[in-house]
Structure 1
Amino acid sequence: MVKAIILVKSPKKLIAVKLRKLTKVSNSFPTSGQFDAVAIIDVQELIEIKEVANQIQKISGVERTETMVEVQ
């Protein structure tokens, strides 16, 4: 299992709700600061992280993302 956090910049107020609808997103919540929401993802393979990031970037209103992968 690979875990990652994807930070999302989007002025849309309900972006965290939209993120939660993605199948690989285990949790999402709004944040204050440079980014507007966080998506926590759990996947089997590292390559899946890129796929989820691409799905997030296609959501209307998403300006940019930054991904951090758990290191063990």
Structure 2
Amino acid sequence: MTDETPKPAAKVAPLRKAVPCPICKRPSAREHYPFCSNRCRDVDLNRWLSGSYAIPVADDEAKAEDDET
């Protein structure tokens, strides 16, 4: 007689859409997502910390004119 008790299903991580590394454009790796390697992750961090990445800000000219009067 065989034991036919159902086994629990293995946990499977959901699949992500394949995205290229934003630094070198190679396929990204799961352990470094969205980067392909720890090197590219460090390059990105360095760019943030050195100020290479910045969010542009446009001054509101109408507000500036109102403040002058």
Shorter chain as normaliser: what TM range?
A: under 0.3
Whose RCO is larger (CA < 8 A, sep 6+)?
Answer: 1
Larger Rg: 2
Point out the structure with the larger strand share.
1
Point out the structure with the larger helix share.
2
- When normalised by structure 2's length, the TM-score is 0.28
